[in-house]
Structure 1
């Protein structure tokens, strides 16, 4: 007696199943199109966002929503900016600030780069000096400015040193971190090919650390502008920080905003220049 074993028969998907799958695919496509459209809209509107903010600020200040004594219209600030630019007053203050930053950058950046690569490459040196730098890092750099005034006086040297100290730590830690991230096998290969310690630093450690070093440079640029502005508040008779502080004390609010906008624009341009230099020197970092 034979028994029949029933096997499930394959049936074609029903029409409702095909419609459900088609609807889901269409919904996904619609969502993708919406995201693309939103992205294009953001790219178009994005550059006009600052202009929109300025227009709203202008209107709010004119109609009294914002107190014009503290938030003067952007048109009034622009007029003051043009006047100070025409007389050369703004250029003089900006040139003084930039020169202080440049000299302080060299004073702090070069030692920070050398020591960062050295401590990243030499274990015993990192063990010996690392805790010292780690203990000094949390100290607010502006907090030691009164001490620098006592040591160096109200002259230019105190401002160079305070900028140099701030720049040093940004570059030092990024350079050391960049070297420490370099695979040890790279150093071993250089040693196997007869490279001495100096050659290992110049051909392995420095190129490997360059992306981190440029990150430190960009951070140092922003930090340098903050530090120099704060130091010029109390220890200077010129510079953009002095312009901001003296305008505040005399309630020349429009001039104060001119100083703030100028130092912000210079900081942005300086960071952009460092970024362009990075792309020129180490194009592989973008990969």
Structure 2
């Protein structure tokens, strides 16, 4: 417990130091307060938005879109990635399409998605799902394809069926790579929500950023940007906690070194 408290304390030092420096630089006029309002001014703006009620409305609107897009993109991405990894037929069918469409900037698809689905919620969810889809497919495919051949030979030598091999060997071995894809996908979802909400939205963090920019309300814009950063951190943390629960047997090399060091002490 003490080690966790110590680690959390260390994690708080860099952001708090940055905020203190920011406050100081605005105070001594190194930073222009018109474009970089002091942190206490941003906090005041945050409190005003909370008391007026639209802050949580923006956050909840964005979270619904992010969650739906992330779940759809993740489920489809894992399914396609597994199919490519275990089936040569699926690899021949899907891999060229993934390779060809992955480099296309997802924001460049916004006009097409608007034409097909309009400016309603479905279009915003779809653009997020597409952004999540590719990193999940790529990481899942890599995880399934890179399973040590020795494991496969041992499983089949002991009479494992194709399904048993996949369930007991391939999927657990690929799980760390799949979770990396989910982490990358969550970051992509939060990145795309800003662009998705700048078109045809009446609420959301992206809408608030654009609205604040249009009105030159810089503190409100920084509140929205800070919220995006916080959502990114929280989503990464939640997926990491889930990863530790689902694949508790997996430990990174750094954690192994830390554990061995503690045992020696």
TM-score interval, normalised by the smaller of the two chains: 0.7 to 0.9
Q: Are the counterparts in 1 of residues 119 and 199 from structure 2 also a CA contact under 8 Å?
A: no
Residue 115 of structure 1, aligned match among 80, 96, 107:
80
User: Does the residue aligned with 1:64 lie in a helix, a strand or coil?
Assistant: coil
Residue 167 of structure 1, aligned match among 132, 136, 143:
132
Provide the C-alpha distance between the structure 2 equivalents of 1:239 and 1:90, rounded to a whole number of angstroms. Answer: 9
- In the alignment, structure 1 segments of 5+ residues that lack a partner are 1-42
- Is residue 225 from structure 1 mapped to residue 225 from structure 2 by the alignment? no
Q: Which residue number corresponds to residue 88 of structure 1? A: 53
What is the total number of aligned residue pairs between the two structures?
Answer: 245
Q: Are the counterparts in 2 of residues 244 and 259 from structure 1 also a CA contact under 8 Å?
A: yes
Residue 66 of structure 1, aligned match among 31, 45, 58:
31
Residue deviations 1:184-223, cap 9 Å, x none? 3333333344443333322222111100001111111111
Provide the C-alpha distance between the structure 2 equivalents of 1:101 and 1:85, rounded to a whole number of angstroms. Answer: 21
User: Does the residue aligned with 1:233 lie in a helix, a strand or coil?
Assistant: coil
TM-score by length of 1: 0.80
Residue 188 of structure 1, aligned match among 141, 150, 153:
153
- Is residue 100 from structure 1 mapped to residue 70 from structure 2 by the alignment? no
Residue deviations 1:43-82, cap 9 Å, x none? 9877433223222222322333221111111111001111
Residue deviations 1:12-36, cap 9 Å, x none? xxxxxxxxxxxxxxxxxxxxxxxxx
Provide the C-alpha distance between the structure 2 equivalents of 1:79 and 1:118, rounded to a whole number of angstroms. Answer: 51
When residues 46 and 191 of structure 1 are mapped into structure 2, their CA distance, relative to the original with a 3 A threshold, is closer
Q: Which residue number corresponds to residue 123 of structure 2? A: 158
Q: Which residue number corresponds to residue 238 of structure 1? A: 203
When residues 44 and 106 of structure 1 are mapped into structure 2, their CA distance, relative to the original with a 3 A threshold, is closer
Q: Following superposition, which runs of at least 4 residues in structure 1 exceed 6 angstroms of deviation?
A: 43-46
Provide the C-alpha distance between the structure 2 equivalents of 1:124 and 1:173, rounded to a whole number of angstroms. Answer: 17
TM-score by length of 2: 0.87
